[in-house]
Amino acid sequence: MKHGKKYGLLQHIEKPNHPWQTINMNWVSGLVPGGKENFDAFLVIVDRYRKRVRCQPCHKEDTAMDTALLFWNNIISTCGVPKIIISDRDPKFTSEFWTNLYDMLGTKLAFSIAYHPQTGGLAERIIHAMENILRRFCVYGMEYQDHERSTHDWVTLLPAVQLAYNTSQHFTTWKSPSLVEKGWNPLLPVDHLKKNLLTIYPTAKDVHDMWKRACNTAARCIAEAKEYNKQRWDKCHMEPHFKELGQVLVSTLSFNNLKGPKKMRVSFEFSRKHTVFPVSLVKPYFQTEEDKFPSRKKNPTPPEIVELEDSPSPVKKIIKARKIRMNGKDQRQYLVRSKDQTVDKNKWLAEDAIPDGKIHLRIFRASRRNEQSHQL
């Protein structure tokens, strides 16, 4: 058991030079289905330069292609292509479709390392704030309810939460994200509030009152969510003092199959685990009497190392062929779809790289001949 502060002081991420150059992305999922399309999640996108946040309702089961289209329609179309996207290791972000797409766009994808979500801490704090606000809305009756007792859910309230956050003072800049981005704050419903207003349309007044309550409650919740900062983190952490190639003890909380001092990179390569992890999971290893005097103990037989081979996914069918020129030579490639894979994971492979290629190529060429004969 380790006593004292945890290792690892807060490390700052590279500072962006202009708006929407570096962004954070993350999901809030597991929500009650809401809206006409029964959204059960929303995507949080944060500009690290101005701290501006955008929230887009979506579905938990959306694919990497769905997420890319959502990102294109709501971010790239108005803010341009970011230089760096920071996210966790969600399968949507680590998929070949997503990584290849943004590689062509020139965007660097920065993933948080395993068991260390603090890398995307900016998005995590905003998600925490959004969840707090939405929870208060739902628990304390902040949903819009008109004179016919018709209720609007969190999808209706999400734009109000986004507006309240972007017009509230940020703890880093001491200015609101809207003020930093535009030079002025947009007017809120409470700014034009008319007292003792009588109207013959009860639904309009209900909406007006809902927006008033929503903005007031959101501002109060956001103020409570701004208690997280570097000083609070560093009170419980300390700077580690490790030596290169030194031995350490690894916490078995996340790695149940690792015990004692080990050469971490070698151990992780053969266990197929990510080789980079936070210093909070390790502590220095101090040699025992047996380590100091090797002659007193028997050298154990080294374990047998078994090389693991990656098994390729079985091929469902070959869709089409193309001819490209690589290294001064013509090469034919085939667009392959694997079994149990979506369309966005189709790959161009050479003939010798296709599993059971002879069988599938025979079927593909036969279908091509049939198509040509029907056309004649």
Tell me: the pLDDT tens digits for 335-371? 988 888 888 888 888 888 888 888 888 888 888 888 8
Judged against a pLDDT cut of 80, whether residue 106 lies above it is answered with yes
The string of pLDDT tens digits covering residues 253-285 is 555 444 444 444 444 544 555 556 666 677 777
Amino acid (one-letter) located at 62: D
pLDDT band at 199 (very low <50, low <70, confident <90, very high): low
Question: Which amino acid belongs to residue 48?
Answer: R
As a whole number of Å, the end-to-end CA separation of the chain is 78
**How many whole angstroms separate alpha carbon 71 and alpha carbon 81?**
10
For the ranges 89-98, 147-156, 352-361, the lowest mean pLDDT is seen at 147-156
- Tell me how far apart the alpha carbons of residues 257 and 156 are, in angstroms, rounded to a whole number: 47
Please compute the mean of the pLDDT values over residues 122-127 and round it to a whole number: 61
pLDDT confidence band for 57 (50 / 70 / 90): very high
- Max mean pLDDT among 128-137, 147-156, 319-328 falls in 319-328
C-alpha torsion angle, residues 362, 364, 365, 371 (rounded to 10): 140
> Beta strands 6-7 and 237-238: pairing type?
parallel
Q: What is the pLDDT of residue 31?
A: 80
Q: What is the DSSP letter of 164?
A: H
Which backbone phi and psi does 63 adopt, to 5 degrees? -85, 175
Per-residue pLDDT, averaged over 126-137, amounts to 62
Closest CA to 185 of 160, 168, 204, 161: 168
Could you tell me where the DSSP H helices lie in 225-263? 230-234
More reliable by pLDDT, 353 or 88 = 353
Average pLDDT over residues 47-70: 87
With H, G, I as helix, E, B as strand and everything else as coil, classify residue 350: strand
Using DSSP's 3-state secondary structure scheme, residue 179 falls into helix
| E runs forming strands in the chain | 6-7, 22-28, 41-47, 53-58, 84-87, 108-111, 237-238, 248-250, 282-284, 315-326, 329-338, 347-350
Mean pLDDT over the full length of the chain? 71
**Domains recognised in the chain with CATH numbers:** 6-224 (3.30.420.10), 240-296 (no CATH), 315-375 (2.40.50)
Half-sphere exposure for 241 (CA within 13 Å, toward CB): 1
Assign 59 to helix, strand or coil: coil
Higher-scoring residue by pLDDT: 332, 99: 332
pLDDT of residue 120: 46
State mean pLDDT over 164-179: 75
Among 78, 153, 90, which Cα is nearest to 123's?
90
Is this prediction's pTM over 0.75?
no
* pLDDT score, position 17: 82
pLDDT at 131: 63
- Residue 114: pLDDT over 50: no
Q: What is the pLDDT of residue 283?
A: 77
Where does the pLDDT of residue 58 fall: very low under 50, low under 70, confident under 90, or very high at 90 and above? very high
Q: Is the pLDDT of residue 162 over 70?
A: yes
The pLDDT of residue 296 is 63
